[in-house]
Amino acid sequence: MSVLSELNVGETGVVITLNLPEAVQNHLMHMGFVPDARVTALRRAPAGDPTVYQVDGVEIALRRETARAIRVWNAELELDEESRELLEAAK
């Protein structure tokens, strides 16, 4: 498990949880950041912040601070048993 801000451009993660204030969390959830959603890091600004992500067919730019509060697992990596259990517990 990691956080969204740690995905490299081109990598895809699967949302586990959002650890944000309720208003921000609700706003992002309406845009598609819900548990089990696949999120791909598309590109970063030249200075590294913000990053543009694609979720549910929509491109959304998030600042690193916000992306750090979204827990994901890298969809391209095989999960070990402990990570699978944590993922299930988070749901």
Taking only the tens of pLDDT, the chain with its 91 residues reads: 799 999 999 999 999 999 999 999 999 999 999 999 999 999 999 988 999 999 989 999 999 999 999 999 876 655 556 666 665 665 5
Structure tokens at 73: 């697992």
Per-residue pLDDT, 64? 95
Cα–Cα distance, 24 to 27 (Å, whole number)? 5
The C-alpha atoms of residue 68 and residue 57 are separated, in whole angstroms, by 21
Q: Which pTM value belongs to this model?
A: 0.79
- List C-alpha distances in Å: 82 to 1, 74, 79, 87: 10, 15, 8, 9
Q: Which residues pair with 73 in a beta bridge?
A: 14
Domains and CATH numbers, the chain: 2-90 (2.30.30.90)
